[in-house]
Amino acid sequence: MTNDTAQSGWDRLMWGAQFSDNSNHEFLIGETWDRERSRGILHSEPIRALLFITRREASEWCKSMNAEWRSRADCMNKWRVRPVRVRETVAIETP
């Protein structure tokens, strides 16, 4: 990242995980869904979307979660996640 990019923010394509259940609820899930990542969140840090740089990483994470949920006997058995293309945009607000 160059100094110009650091000063102006960024706009990049990434991969996220879209949640769905048997009630047709769909939404982009946050990083707290990832057990490893959520442990490192600081108290005052905002929750962000769970993002991946490559489709392969997103697909592997989704496949793992879907397999875990399918093995359950409760309502989580119907939960699914799938990789979706997302755009992350961060801009510096000027006073």
Tens digits of residue pLDDT in 69-87: 999 999 899 999 999 999 9
Phi, psi of 86 (to 5 degrees): -135, 160
The pTM (predicted TM-score) of the whole model is 0.76
Tens digits of residue pLDDT in 4-46: 545 678 899 999 999 998 888 899 998 777 766 555 566 676 6
Question: Residue ranges of the domains in the chain?
Answer: 11-90
Three-state secondary-structure class, residue 5:
helix
Three-state secondary-structure class, residue 58:
helix
